[in-house]
Each structure stands twice: as C-alpha cells, then as structure tokens.
Structure 1
C-alpha cells in the first residue's frame, strides 16, 4: 500500500506539473479554447496508452504461469528498479530547465504542426509518466494477492488524492513546500524504493534458481543467509517492514542480496556525481 501510494503520488505530481506548464503556455496564445481541446485530447490519449500497457502486462502475467511467470515478474521488477534510477538521473540533468524546454518544444510544435503538435506533446508526456507508473506498480505489487492487492489499489487511489493536494500546496505557498524541495525529497525516496525493488527482484530470481538443479555454490550464494537480525528488527512488521518496502531491508539477507545492494548504491553514487557535473 505504501509503495503504491508513493509511486502514484510522485508520478501524478510530475504529470500534473507538465499539464500545468502547458496550460499556462496556452493562456498566452491566440485561440486558447481550441488549443486547450488539443491539450486535453492528448492527455486522454496518453492515459489510454498507459491503460493499454497495464492491460498488456496483466495479460502477460496471466498467460505466463509457473516458472515463466516468476521470471517475468523478476525481469519487470528489475526494469522498474533501473527506470527509477534513470528517472532520477534525468531529473538531475534536466529538472532545472524543464519548464523552458517544454515551452520551447510547444512553440516549435505549434509553429510546425499547429494544435496536433500540442496534442502529440501532451500524449507523449502523459503516456511516459503513465507507463512509468504502470511498470513501477507492477514491479512493486507483482506477487500480491487478495487483501494485500486490494490495499495496494487503495494506496494508488490515495496517491492520486495526495498528488492533487500536493500540487495545490506547491502552487499556493512555496514557503511551505517548493518544487525544489519536492523533487529532492521524492528523488531520495525513489532511490530507496529502487533499491527495494532490486532486492525484491533478487528474491524472485533466488526462488527460481533454488528450484533448479544447480551447483552447491549457487544455493550458498542465493539461499543461505549471512546473519539473522530479526530479533532486533524484523522485516515482517512495524518499522522493519517499512524499511523492507522502501529500502530493501532484509533481516536475514543472502550473499547475493548484499552484493546487489552494494552494487546498486555504488551505481547510484556514480550516476549522481555524473549528472551533477553535466548540469
């Protein structure tokens, strides 16, 4: 539930930011009402594309059962983790100039293609955010069932409500919360969640490998825990469960889990240094 709420909140705020920038740009153009119709048509088509992707992924999950379904879940969870990190890197490089770049792109498309260019721009922007949301949600909730899945869906709805309230707060009072503060906080949480999804993918891969006839060192690396700290902090409830959801904490981690997390944070540190140098 917490993961779904955060993912939908973060991606919805970014989508609303893009729509708000384009709305402000339209208010300065001639033929505002006609352009607004193209904008909202693009938003609607972008949402439909994202919904189509969600349907395709659910169909694939239903079709591929057993080991194939497990490998698909692991692969898409890895993709979601990598996409989260790449999104943070992209925002570090392009976030400060996002408004300027979007307005410039809108001016160019309007000059070349008229309202249809604006429609395409909105479609691409919204479908990108929506597609990221779909992939992230699938990666976070692929193994949930019944009650847990219902809570996951409720978290997504709450994320939409929080996104609307956040945008209102950002527009009304920058002293309380500025766009810079919002992106800094959300990017930190995204990186933590990316690590959690990576660990979830490793867990799924480990489960698949341990069911196969492989050399002993594979079972040692993927199956045996290095320690067990559940007596101090369990990963099944309370603070430990929250850390498991958002940072990949495991009370009894395997060697491959530790190696994966270490490699993840080394990659993140290197990528953030590079993105700062290119700003």
Structure 2
C-alpha cells in the first residue's frame, strides 16, 4: 500500500505546477495592464478544466473495472504507451518553448483584451489546465489500478503543494526560472516515460500470451533478481512486490525479471530521448543571448 504515493505526487506536482504557472502568468499580466477584474475569467476556465479532468478520470477507472483480465492488460498496456507518447511530446515541446511561453501568452491576452473577447481569457486558462489534467489522468491511470489509495493521497498532496506555490506566484513573493524548471522536469519526465514504456510493453506481452500469441526470444526473461519470499510468506524489501521494490517499480519501472523486449524498449527510450534532453539543456550559451525570465507576478514584463 502507498507504493504509488511518490510517483503520483511527483507527476501531479509537475503537471499541476505547469498549469499553475500559466494561470499565474495570465492573472499577473492582467493585473499589470490594469485589468484585474478579468482575472475571474481565468479562474473560471481553470475550474471548469479541473472538473472535466476529474470526470474523465472517474470514467476511465469505471471503464477499467468492468474489463476481463486479458482486456484489462491490453488497456493498461495501451494506456501506458499512450502516456509515453504524450510525455515525449511534452518533452519536445518544452525544449522549444521554455524561453517563449511568457511572451506568447502576453500576446494572446493583448488580442483578447483589444477585441473584448473575455471568453478567450477563460479559454487560455481552460486549455492550459485541461491539457495538464488530461495528461495527469493518462499518467496516473495505471497507478490507480495498482494502488488506488496511495495514488489518491499522492494526487491530493501534490495538488495542495502546488496550490500554495500558485498563491505565492500570483502575489509575487516567489520567482521561478522557467528554463531550469523545464530542464529539471524534463529529466523527471524521461524517468517516468521510460518506466511507463517498459510497463506498457510488459502488459501487452502478457495480454498477447493470454490470447496465445508468442513473442519468441523477445518474450523470454534473461534473469530474475527477485529475492525469495521471507519465511512468513511476505515479500523482501527489494522484491519487485516488496516495499522498496514496489516504489521503484511505480517510479522508474523497476522489474526484477523483465522480458528482453521490455529491456530493449526501456534502454532505447533512455538512449534516444534521454540523450536529446541532455543535448538540449547542455547546449553552450550563445554570447549575447538573454537569460529566460523569472516568473514573478509583481515583475511580469
């Protein structure tokens, strides 16, 4: 129990913080240009997005509850790989937009104000928050299946911490370097995505075998490092079903006896996407290139 707390907390924290950053940029800029009263439209859009994300999450879990074992494995595998695809897209998006996101949002807000299109302000907040909410539903769907209580506590804890940070951001008492934020969280996303990719492949292999599909050598397990059960029948600490092993499994995709295909996919993702992230954020700084701005509500440019 609660082996999914840490990964669900980190995922929720990361996704909710990005949404909070965008809403903070919108609200702070409205304050700067003397349109503070329009901030309520940003809050309305955010609230609607949160409610819709919760409804979708409930529907996904309800759908899963009525599936047979093989179909459930297919669902978990497809959901995991879909989440990997979305995570990968986010990683590429962040490397290209981390320096421009503030300016792009300001331009859109200026257009909305000039045209008196108040719904556009609500839409900006809605799209930003709903995108992160939908991504969170995708990422956490398999964790909810494995450990509902731990995942739920992690979601609540992550959301609570971000809510506190959002208040500080809007009041201008906390600054956040966007480049560093996106850089560090990109590494975190690679960790999650590699683990999800391996888990998704594992579930698809099990579903295929349940339907009589063979995978040859790719479905074979080259080793098994899971320690034997304790004398009382409980799982040892480092067993993939033990306390620490379960946390590592949910967090980084640890598996004591993985299939060859899972190993190839896991290492391949790290090699390709991990090296891309490393090159993107370790690139030498060109002389004269300005530093990315800090996010501070009282100092929005």
Q: TM-score range by the shorter chain?
A: 0.7 to 0.9
Counterpart Cα distance in 2 of 1:62 and 1:228 = 31
Establish whether residue 112 from structure 1 lines up as the match of residue 115 from structure 2.
Answer: yes
Partner of 1:38: 41
**TM-score using structure 2 length:** 0.79
Aligned in 2, Cα 1:164/1:43: closer, same or farther, shift over 3 Å? closer
Aligned in 2, Cα 1:225/1:135: closer, same or farther, shift over 3 Å? same
Could you tell me whether the CA contact under 8 Å between 2:186 and 2:277 is conserved in 1?
no
Q: Secondary structure at the match of 2:240?
A: coil
Partner of 2:288: none
Aligned-pair CA distance for 1:69: 2.8
Q: 1:246 aligns with which of 227, 248, 251?
A: 251
Q: 1:267 aligns with which of 272, 295, 301?
A: 272
Q: How does 1:227-246 map to 2 (within 5 A)?
A: 227-231=223-227, 234-237=239-242, 239-246=244-251
Aligned-pair CA distance for 1:30: 4.1
Could you tell me whether the CA contact under 8 Å between 2:77 and 2:201 is conserved in 1?
yes
**TM-score using structure 1 length:** 0.84
What's the CA shift string for 1:135-188, capped at 9, x where partnerless? 1111333x32xxx311211111111123234556776455xx744433332221
Q: Which range moves more in the overlay, 4-13 or 44-53?
A: 44-53
Q: Secondary structure at the match of 2:41?
A: helix
Q: How does 1:116-195 map to 2 (within 5 A)?
A: 116-141=119-144, 143-144=145-146, 148-167=147-166, 172=173, 178-195=177-194
Aligned-pair CA distance for 1:211: 1.5
What's the CA shift string for 1:11-61, capped at 9, x where partnerless? 11111111110111111234421x122111111221122123223322332
Establish whether residue 22 from structure 1 lines up as the match of residue 18 from structure 2.
Answer: no
Could you tell me whether the CA contact under 8 Å between 1:189 and 1:246 is conserved in 2?
no
Could you tell me whether the CA contact under 8 Å between 2:199 and 2:262 is conserved in 1?
no
- Show structure 2 runs of 5+ residues with no match: 228-236, 286-301
The count of aligned residue pairs is 268
Partner of 1:53: 56
Partner of 1:65: 68
Establish whether residue 88 from structure 1 lines up as the match of residue 91 from structure 2.
Answer: yes
Aligned-pair CA distance for 1:68: 2.4
Q: How does 1:209-224 map to 2 (within 5 A)?
A: 209-215=208-214, 218=215, 220-222=217-219, 224=220
Aligned in 2, Cα 1:173/1:39: closer, same or farther, shift over 3 Å? closer
Partner of 2:15: 11
Aligned in 2, Cα 1:214/1:120: closer, same or farther, shift over 3 Å? closer
Aligned in 2, Cα 1:111/1:275: closer, same or farther, shift over 3 Å? farther
Could you tell me whether the CA contact under 8 Å between 1:8 and 1:156 is conserved in 2?
yes
Counterpart Cα distance in 1 of 2:168 and 2:133 = 22
Counterpart Cα distance in 2 of 1:123 and 1:66 = 36
Counterpart Cα distance in 2 of 1:191 and 1:136 = 13
